[in-house]
């Protein structure tokens, strides 16, 4: 037996596959050592990958199918973990949309982390939206902070979706952004409510949820596997472990600004090309920052990305 299927769960050297849009998971393992051309990835096979498989009989736990080839990816999200400077990690592949989940507090948001995720989505061709979770609490206690955050990212060209996984606010709208048959990623730092959102979207699912460590106001890492779920609506969603570091991969310094939509548009007015938007005279981007047309928070993130030795988490 042989065929093509999508990776729906990655548990180290063991995988679950399904021939989407059908949901019939079956086990698989890698045949030999599979390496992507020119890749230094810690995981050559990622959730969302379409693979070719073969099996001498119907795949079972005792006799899993063998993954023999990884098909070309339409897109992917890849990062460099902060503690693996020479290696990369593919979070997910072949996505219709990535939803990056954040809260402003509990745990406290790290804008450089968010901006690195957004830049990577722009660079690798992944449509992305920002999900601001726990807004029932945030808007009650920090309404000005919520408005300021939304203004930064809406002005940058991103859609910000307000949700409350516990109260159900925004869940219908979020579901409508995941059409039937689409493959979507839910990513973010630990404790922001990714698993709770999945549970709210489909109460029949039981992904792990994280408590907040009161000592550090940081989310405790609970999800250890990358796994795709089939929602009752017929769409698919990938739950990822809480991300603690997000290093950029294979970016040249003079191209990073191209992945800031608000900078890309304004940079057409720069006197010099290319322009790093740091020291050059006649830089339209620096003028826009001074005028408040580009948020200083975004510009600060950009400068941090230019500094390869500086790590944001």
3-class secondary structure, 145: helix
pTM for the whole structure: 0.87
CATH 1.10.40.50 domain locations along the chain: 256-306
220-277 confidence digits (pLDDT tens) = 333 347 899 999 999 999 998 777 667 777 787 778 999 999 999 899 999 998 899 9
CA distances (Å), 131 to each of 104, 194, 200, 248, 288, in order?
11, 10, 14, 22, 27
Q: How many CB atoms lie within 10 A of CB 7?
A: 26
Q: Where in the chain is the domain with CATH 3.40.50.300?
A: 76-239
Q: pLDDT band for position 12 (50/70/90)?
A: confident
Q: Which of 22, 21, 28 is nearest to 7 (CA)?
A: 28
Q: What is the separation, in whole angstroms, between the first and last Cα of the chain? A: 45
Domain with CATH 2.40.50.140 in the chain: 2-70
Residue 183 bridge partners (DSSP): 236
Location of structure tokens 């489909």 = 202
Contact 162, 135 (CB under 8 A): yes
The CATH H-level superfamily of 76-239 is: P-loop containing nucleotide triphosphate hydrolases (3.40.50.300)
pLDDT digits (tens, 9 = 90+) for 50-83: 999 998 777 777 778 889 999 999 999 988 766 5
pLDDT band at 34 (very low <50, low <70, confident <90, very high): low
Phi and psi based region of residue 234 (left: phi greater than 0; alpha: psi -120 to 50; beta: remaining): left
86 or 286: which leads in pLDDT: 286
Q: How far apart are CA 299 and CA 257, in angstroms?
A: 10
**Shortest CA distance to 190 belongs to which of 157, 167, 223, 158?**
223
> What whole-number distance in Å separates Cα of residue 233 and Cα of residue 187?
20
Q: Three-state SS for 201?
A: helix
Q: Sorting pLDDT into bands at 50, 70 and 90, what band is 14?
A: confident
Q: Is the peptide bond before 266 cis (omega within 30 degrees of 0)?
A: no
C-alpha angle 98-100-106 in degrees, rounded to nearest 5: 160
**Contact call for residues 79 and 249 (beta carbons, < 8 A):** yes
33 band by pLDDT with thresholds 50, 70 and 90:
low
Looking at residue 200, its pLDDT comes to 93
> What class, spelled out in words, does domain 256-306 have in CATH?
mainly alpha
Residue from 207, 78, 75, 184 nearest 131 by CA: 184
Least confident of 5-9, 94-98, 219-223, 302-306: 219-223
Pick the closest to residue 184 from 201, 167, 168 (CA basis).
Answer: 201
Whole-Å CA distances, 231 to 50, 106, 236? 20, 27, 6
| HEC-encoded secondary structure of 75-137 | CEEEEECCCCCCCEEEEEECCCEEEEEECCCCCCCCHHHHHHHHHHHHHCCCCEEEEECCHHH
The segment with the largest mean pLDDT, out of 40-44, 157-161, 217-221, is 157-161
C-alpha to C-alpha distance for 88 and 69, rounded to whole angstroms: 20
Q: Are 90 and 43 in contact (CB under 8 A)?
A: yes
Taking domain 2-70, whether its CATH number is 3.30.70.1290 is answered by: no
């Amino acid at each position: 037996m042989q065929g093509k299927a999508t990776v729906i769960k990655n548990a180290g050297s063991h995988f679950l596959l399904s021939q989407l849009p059908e949901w019939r998971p079956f086990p698989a393992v890698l045949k030999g050592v599979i390496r992507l051309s020119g890749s230094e990835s810690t995981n050559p096979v990622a959730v969302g990958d379409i693979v070719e498989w073969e099996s001498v009989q119907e795949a079972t736990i005792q006799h899993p199918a063998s993954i023999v080839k990884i098909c070309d990816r339409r897109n992917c999200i890849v990062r460099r973990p902060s503690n693996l400077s020479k290696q990369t990690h593919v979070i997910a592949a072949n996505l219709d949309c990535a939803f990056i989940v954040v809260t402003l507090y509990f745990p406290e948001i790290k804008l450089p982390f968010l901006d690195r995720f957004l830049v990577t989505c722009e660079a690798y061709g992944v449509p992305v939206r920002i999900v601001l979770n726990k807004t029932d609490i945030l808007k009650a206690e920090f309404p000005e902070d919520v408005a300021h955050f939304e203004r930064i990212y809406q002005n940058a060209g991103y859609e910000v979706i307000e949700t409350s996984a516990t109260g159900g606010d925004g869940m219908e709208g979020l579901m409508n952004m995941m059409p039937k048959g689409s493959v979507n990623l839910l990513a973010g730092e630990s404790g922001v409510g990714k698993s709770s959102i999945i549970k709210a979207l489909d109460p029949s699912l039981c992904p792990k949820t994280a408590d907040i460590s009161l000592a550090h106001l940081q989310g405790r890492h609970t999800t250890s596997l990358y796994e795709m779920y089939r929602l009752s609506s017929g769409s698919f969603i990938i739950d990822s472990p809480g991300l603690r570091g997000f290093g950029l991969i294979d970016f040249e310094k003079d191209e990073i600004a191209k992945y800031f939509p608000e900078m890309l548009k304004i940079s057409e007015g720069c006197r010099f090309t290319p322009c790093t938007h740091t020291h050059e005279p006649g830089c339209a981007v620096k003028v826009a920052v001074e005028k408040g047309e580009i948020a200083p928070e975004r510009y600060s993130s950009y400068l941090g990305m230019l500094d390869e030795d500086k790590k944001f988490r």
